[in-house]
Amino acid sequence: MRKWKKFGFAVSLASMLMLTACGSGGSSAGNSGGASGSEILIGVQTPTTGSEAKMGQDMNNAIQLAADEINAKGGILGKKIKLVFADDASDPQTATAAANKLVSQGVAAVVGGYSSGAVLPASGVYHNAGIPMVVTAANSAKIPAQGYKEIFLINGTTVHQAEAAADYMTKKLGAKRIALVHDNSAYAKDLAELTKKSVGQAGGQVVAFEAVNPDEKDFTTLLTKLKNAKPDATYWTAYYAAGGLLIKQFKQLGVPGAIGVGDGSNDKTLIDIAGKDAAEGTFVTTSPTAEFIPGAKAFLDAYKTKYHADPGPYSALAYDGMRLLADAITRANSTDKAAIVKALKETKGFKALEGDIAFKDDNTLEKSNFIVLVVKNGTFALPQ
């Protein structure tokens, strides 16, 4: 999930950055363009502490798996990939420190990025250093809006998600009257506003546009407004903890129409909080997770064999991010940062698990990768 998190800035130096390296000790690549001896240094920025640590570790696992597979086939340009991990804790200040540390380590490129709030400041650091970053999860439209030529997003943006939500509600569900609810967090509000625009373009009408507190527990006042507005569909753009309660109370109060959620609520906990019966039929817009990708069986099997666990929601994207970087360096025939940026920009038809990758002028995906799932018998499934 691509949350825009706000954290306090009182972070100790010890918790600001945890940096480890795969293979031998973390020596700097100096001015060698990210190559040191027989290795190419690739930075990995994810949260491995804080509330999103599990998501970050799942991404790290997938990136490590991809690097191991590439190294087993001879590496890149005759050199082995050496990953340098930096913890951004999904926190802006920590992310800035993590990015500066990776720059000082002399990495050729960076892959990862879970939280938009962490990627936004870190991307400025990479831009100033000329270092390319393949962002594999964070997807706020504010990231490409910065105009940094070095930053590439391989997950659909909030614009893509808004279009997917509006399309599903107006076409698949036949909804004409739409209610939108967010929690005033930057990411959720951004998605709600973009969805409002997309609903209008799709011929629908937004009959309610409401905000609640992020820690809201009682949605009676909101749901009474929605019930009176008589929506055909309601779309929650924030996160699963409050989202689960909203769905539960939505059904209890008998609000008409369908209810759906954005990717910030793509978590089994949403169903647990709402209850299996109340959650039944809820739709969720999300980037594709590995179990719903037709060509991902080999990745799933390899991940489970290596880590004895299922991949996380953004593991497939992280895996492809590492593979895309390796492909770009190979096509550039160099670890020169500018050459890698150029090769990434020229990417056409790269075979990723989620589909072919090519970039628009703003370095976002040429084609949206968002899908829609529905809750069926207590789990997420593809709609019929």
Q: If one looks up domain 159-286+371-381 in CATH, what number appears? A: 3.40.50.2300
Q: Where are the beta strands (DSSP E) in the chain?
A: 19-21, 35-36, 39-46, 80-87, 109-112, 133-135, 151-153, 177-182, 205-211, 233-236, 258-261, 283-286, 350-352, 355-357, 371-376, 379-381
> 114: exposed, middle or buried (C-beta count within 10 Å: 0-12, 13-18, 19+)?
buried
State mean pLDDT over 250-255. Answer: 98
User: Is the confidence at residue 360, as pLDDT, over 70?
Assistant: yes
CB 111 within 8 A of CB 133: yes
Q: Which two tokens stand for residue 11?
A: 């972070």
pLDDT for the residue 1? 47
Percentage of the chain exceeding pLDDT 70: 91
Confidence bin at 266 (pLDDT 50/70/90): confident
Rounded-to-integer distance, Cα 314 and Cα 294, Å: 16
pLDDT tens digit sequence for 1-39: 445 443 433 333 334 333 333 433 333 333 346 766 799
Confidence bin at 143 (pLDDT 50/70/90): very high
Contacts of 242 (CB under 8 A, 6+ apart): 183, 212, 214, 215, 216
pLDDT for the residue 315? 94
Rounded-to-integer distance, Cα 47 and Cα 90, Å: 5
pTM over 0.75: yes
Contacts of 52 (CB under 8 A, 6+ apart): 3, 5, 89, 90, 114, 115
Fold of 13-155+294-353: Rossmann fold (3.40.50)
pLDDT for the residue 130? 99
User: Is the confidence at residue 311, as pLDDT, over 50?
Assistant: yes
pLDDT tens digit sequence for 371-380: 999 999 999 9
User: Is the confidence at residue 357, as pLDDT, over 90?
Assistant: yes
| Nearest to 191, CA basis, from 260, 141, 241, 249 | 141
pLDDT for the residue 36? 63
Rounded-to-integer distance, Cα 192 and Cα 74, Å: 46
pLDDT for the residue 188? 86
Compare 30 and 348 and report the one with higher pLDDT.
Answer: 348
pLDDT for the residue 18? 39
CB 113 within 8 A of CB 144: no
Domain with CATH 3.40.50.2300 in the chain: 13-155+294-353, 159-286+371-381
pLDDT for the residue 33? 63
pLDDT for the residue 43? 99
| Nearest to 67, CA basis, from 319, 259, 278, 293 | 319
pLDDT tens digit sequence for 210-245: 999 988 999 999 999 999 999 999 999 988 889 999
| Nearest to 47, CA basis, from 16, 82, 21 | 16
User: Is the confidence at residue 327, as pLDDT, over 90?
Assistant: yes
User: Is the confidence at residue 93, as pLDDT, over 80?
Assistant: yes
State mean pLDDT over 295-324. Answer: 95
Q: Which two tokens stand for residue 157?
A: 């943006």
CB 141 within 8 A of CB 158: yes
Confidence bin at 285 (pLDDT 50/70/90): very high
| Nearest to 311, CA basis, from 284, 285, 325, 293 | 293
pLDDT for the residue 380? 94
The distance in angstroms from the start CA to the end CA of the chain is 24
> What pairing do the DSSP bridges indicate for beta strands 80-87 and 19-21?
antiparallel
CB 136 within 8 A of CB 165: no
State mean pLDDT over 122-128. Answer: 99
Neighbours of 153 (CB within 10 A): 28
Compare 34 and 304 and report the one with higher pLDDT.
Answer: 304
What is the DSSP-derived secondary structure letter of residue 304?
Answer: H
Percentage of the chain exceeding pLDDT 90: 76
pLDDT for the residue 85? 99
pLDDT for the residue 302? 98
Range name among 192-201, 219-228, 290-299 with the lowest pLDDT average: 290-299
pLDDT for the residue 275? 98
Rounded-to-integer distance, Cα 276 and Cα 255, Å: 18
> What pairing do the DSSP bridges indicate for beta strands 350-352 and 355-357?
antiparallel
pLDDT tens digit sequence for 154-191: 999 999 999 999 999 999 999 999 999 999 887 788 89
State mean pLDDT over 97-105. Answer: 99
State mean pLDDT over 253-271. Answer: 93
